[in-house]
Amino acid sequence: MTHIVRIFCAVLALCAAARLAAGQEVVFEEWRYHQPGDLLYDEGVHTAGVILEDFSFAIMVLVAQGKHTAIGAVIPGTDFQDSVTSTLTMTDGSARTLTVTGDQLRRERAKAPDMVSYSFFLSDEDVELFQAARDWTLQAGDQKATFPLAGSRIAVDAAREAQKISAGGPEVRDEWIAACDAAAAHPYDGESPVPGVAWDDMDADTATTACLNAYAAGDVLPRIRFELGRAYDKGDDPRAFELLTKAARDDHYPIAYNALATLYGTGTYTIRDLAAAHELLEQGTALGDMVSGYSLGRMLIEHSTGPDDIERGRTLLMDAAEAGYPPAQRIYGQWLVDGTLGAGDPLQAKSFLEKAALTGDASAAFALAQLYIGESGLDPDPKAYLKYLKLAARGGNEAALEALSLD
């Protein structure tokens, strides 16, 4: 029951901290299968559980490739008892009670005041009864907690399905890793072996399912952790914050620093913190991530404290643009024209904007069209203007669509 002990020793501290965490859901009315980013998730273990308002919680753990199932609970109390009484109340009001004692009972001190934990293995019959029952009461002397079992069948069955994936061996693991890559890889992730998927083209449900299954297969790659975080974020799932935090701060996965910095910079799933975003971008850039370098360059220019910031930001943007990153090509091209980077350079701007536009960047195509109006330093060219305006419109650029409707 090593995994139960580890979970019990950690979760109470997490629950206490979660009271202060914005957007962190702590109390569950129904049982849930625990997935990456969930409060009760433990990597490499398949579990389902429920948390009550007093932070008592019950958890079912599938161990030894499905050969054993353990049930445990953390309940209010200060003294351990030598035995516990487990009572299942069925939907018809009948009850099944058993006493667990001796070597069958595991007792642990939880990392929270006045809380104790008990756990024991269940027979296959008892697992089925748990899934069919209305509630479960665990009593240890005067200590007692009753947990609803609503949702337990779906949650435990989901844990079993994930366990089957983890038992599938290398071929199954490789299959789900490939599916996760195909659905959620970043197009400019220097560590990824696949072309990647643009943000607008991602399907959150497909990507999340594939990457959760890749996670369930075990021996999780840092790339898969990042891609699951990206899939969560595409689906506006706040668990993205924890996954991307682990991918960056624990795995040191280069592009994850940019993704996490974006969350801090926009205040998504967390409190807005530009200093934290800046620090993360510095780390990602130091690891050679082109996207982090681009974002850091923009930040230095947009939040400049002096000419040194402007010059360093310009260098970072130019490096990313020359390396072929379309957003860098577009921003650098626009800023070469509008004076953000000093004296205008329409010819260099044209070169970078053309490269970005040819990759399908509609905003770059619209900016390029504006160069041919004749007020940017280039000679007016109505044909080129219309060409790039139409290209921008085909990409969905609203300003281009409006301009064409007026023209």
CATH number of the CATH domain containing 43: 2.60.40
Does residue 17 carry a pLDDT above 50? no
Predicted pLDDT at 22: 41
Q: How far apart are CA 87 and CA 85, in angstroms?
A: 6
- Top-confidence range, 1-15, 144-158, 267-281: 267-281
Burial class (CB in 10 A: 0-12, 13-18, 19+), 83: middle
Residue 19: which pLDDT band, with cuts at 50, 70 and 90? very low
**Percent of the chain's residues with pLDDT above 90:** 64
Contacts of 278 (CB under 8 A, 6+ apart): 261, 296, 299
Residue 77: which pLDDT band, with cuts at 50, 70 and 90? confident
Predicted pLDDT at 18: 44
Residue ending a domain, among 286, 316, 338, is 286
Residues 175 and 275 in one domain: yes
Q: Evaluate whether residue 51 is within a structural domain.
A: yes
Tell me, what amino acid is at 60?
Answer: M
For residue 240, the tally of other CB atoms under 10 A from its CB is 23
Contacts of 398 (CB under 8 A, 6+ apart): none
Q: How far apart are CA 53 and CA 24, in angstroms?
A: 14
Q: Is 373 helix (H, G, I), strand (E, B) or coil?
A: coil
Does residue 54 carry a pLDDT above 90? no
| pLDDT tens figures, 233-274 | 999 999 999 999 999 999 999 999 999 999 999 999 999 999
Predicted pLDDT at 345: 82
Residues 67 and 120 in one domain: yes
For residue 258, the tally of other CB atoms under 10 A from its CB is 28
HSE-up (13 A, CA, CB side) for residue 174: 3
Q: If you average pLDDT over residues 296-325, what whole number do you get?
A: 95
Residues 130 and 250 in one domain: no
Does residue 3 carry a pLDDT above 70? no
Number of domains in the chain: 2
Does residue 53 carry a pLDDT above 90? no
- For helices 152-166 and 204-216, what crossing angle results, to 10°? 60
Between residues 396 and 64, which one has the greater pLDDT? 396
Q: Evaluate whether residue 312 is within a structural domain.
A: no
**Residue 110 structural domain:** 15-154
Residues 82 and 138 in one domain: yes
Contacts of 218 (CB under 8 A, 6+ apart): 44, 166, 173
Between residues 349 and 344, which one has the greater pLDDT? 349
| pLDDT tens figures, 95-138 | 999 999 998 999 886 666 678 889 999 988 999 999 999 999 99
Q: How far apart are CA 292 and CA 282, in angstroms?
A: 8
Residue ending a domain, among 260, 286, 312, is 286
Predicted pLDDT at 20: 38
* Distance between first and last Cα of the chain: 72
Has this prediction a pTM greater than 0.95? no
Residues 19 and 150 in one domain: yes
Q: Is 141 helix (H, G, I), strand (E, B) or coil?
A: coil
